[in-house]
Amino acid sequence: MTDLDRADTGRPHGIRTGKPASDPAARARHTGDPLADAVVAAMRAAAPERARELRTELDRGIRHGLASLDDPAPESAALLRSAESLPPDTDPALLDTGALPLFTSPPAVHTLSLSAGALLRTYGSPSIAVLLGTTGRLVDGAARRITETGRWVLCATLPGGLRPGAPGYVATLQVRMLHAHMRALARSRGHDEARHGVPINQIDLARTWLDFTLVSLRAEAAIGFDLTDDEITQVYAYWRVLAHQLGIDPELVGGVTDHTSAARLDALVSRATGPPGPESRVLAGALVGAVAALLHGSLRLPEPVGRRLLQVLARRFHGPVVADALGMRRCVPLDLLVGVAAWIVRARRARMRCTPGAVAARHERYVAVTRAIVDGDATGPALFQNFRPS
């Protein structure tokens, strides 16, 4: 049970009602990432030459480990020491297996669930949408965000991907530091913390973590790419390591082991963040346009058809209330086609699971495909290559 569970009284958690800071949800809303924020504060306070040395030192420590640094700054050492550790009760072998159940599906499926599922829901958070507006990234760079995020998720979930120095670990620490720099930038540009909380606060981080787990897994199941209960448990266990490396408070996500516990936390976090705002709708439109362009580049799917497909998927993934708030339009004929395709995929996967050795063969195949993508240029179109219906 998390602090948020214990604080739940059936009322809003004081996020917008001025409850005291002792409220766990209010505390999470006003907490960023102390370890990463301390590193950025040290960089910003240092003279230019020293700031460059600190950035170089941190980059070396991320890529080669804390042990590679002779006399690191205390802030960098504390961050790296934490990142190189594992959450309590974590089996170290988990780093070698990675999020293996995800590799029963081709990378393109994960990119669809990432775009129309995880990122679209993330942008539905008014505080995150406002932050992107404050930092000048509301619309610009939508295509870059989807490709960078897609590459990070693929790298991070590969077997061995989160071992210190591995590409997934490096990318995860880079994401964490990007968040810290964005917090500092937003504060320097007048971010309203009384209204929106600390930029990229612990509530935002927990919500985003749920978008990459609960939302993405349910999105893939909605188009036929279901996982078994045991596989879902494995994925959550792996993502708890990712949460640790991203600087997410274990009191928020440490007790999440399946969809039931994830949905319980998600309900509390969603209540804290509130419904999508105008900026969320702008972001959603930019995301759909960017992904439609990527689909055209990889699958030669006309962009208007790609946009309509993504809107239909978004309605399946998030339901009509959220989809309407984000401007995702209905298309009944295309939705029926998606439903038929999902039924076919689900039936084929059921047969695959009944075939001896088929799941292991699928793991081997899609791990290899994913490694080829991340070892290459990992451009947007590449993320949609090797798409298969099952």
Q: Specify the pLDDT at position 232.
A: 98
What tens digit of pLDDT does each residue of 96-111 get?
999 999 999 998 899 8
Residue 39 maps to a domain = no
For residues 285-293, average pLDDT:
89
Percent of the chain with pLDDT over 90: 63
CA–CA separation, 197 and 121 (whole Å): 19
Residues 191-196 have a mean pLDDT of 78
* Residue 122 CB neighbours (<10 A): 22
Would residue 58 count as lying in a domain? no
The per-residue pLDDT for range 228-264, each reduced to its tens digit, is 999 999 999 999 999 999 999 999 999 999 999 999 9
| Local confidence band at 16 (pLDDT 50, 70, 90 cut-offs) | very low
Total domain count, the chain: 1
Predicted local confidence at residue 23, as pLDDT: 67
Domain membership of residue 209 (yes or no) is yes
pLDDT at 105: 94
Instruction: Report yes or no on 51 lying in a domain.
Output: no
Angle in degrees, CA 180, 55, 168, rounded to 5: 65
What number is the average pLDDT over the span 329-333?
Answer: 94
pLDDT in the model for residue 2? 39
Q: Is residue 192 part of a domain?
A: yes
Tokens encoding 119: 């990122």
Residue 2 within a domain: no
pLDDT at residue 86 greater than cutoff 50: yes
Question: Is residue 6 over pLDDT 50?
Answer: no
Q: In this predicted structure, what is the pLDDT of residue 111? A: 85
Please, are residues 64 and 58 in contact by the beta-carbon 8 Å criterion?
Answer: no
Q: How confident is the model at residue 136 (pLDDT cuts 50, 70, 90)?
A: low
Task: Give the separation between CA 373 and CA 305, rounded to whole angstroms.
Answer: 25
pLDDT band at residue 272, thresholds of 50, 70 and 90? confident
Q: For the chain, what is the HEC assignment?
A: CCHHHHHCCCCCCCCCCCCCCCCHHHHHHCCCCHHHHHHHHHHHHCCHHHHHHHHHHHHHHHHHCHHHCCCCCHHHHHHHHHHCCCCCCCCCCHHHHCCHHHHHCCHHHHHHHHHHHHHHHHHCCHHHHHHHHHCCCCCCCHHHHHHHHHHHHHHHHCCCCCCCCCHHHHHHHHHHHHHHHHHHHHHHCCCCHHHHCCCCCHHHHHHHHHHHHHHHHHHHHHCCCCCCHHHHHHHHHHHHHHHHHHCCCHHHHCCCCCHHHHHHHHHHHHHHHCCCCHHHHHHHHHHHHHHHHHHHHHHCCCHHHHHHHHHHHHHHHHHHHHHHHCCCCCCHHHHHHHHHHHHHHHHHHHHHHCCCCHHHHHHHHHHHHHHHHHHCCCCHHHHCCCCCCC
Interval 39-52: pLDDT, tens = 999 999 999 999 99
pLDDT category, 17, cuts 50, 70, 90?
A: very low
- 86, part of any domain: no
* Domain coverage including residue 288: 102-383
Domain membership flag for residue 54: no
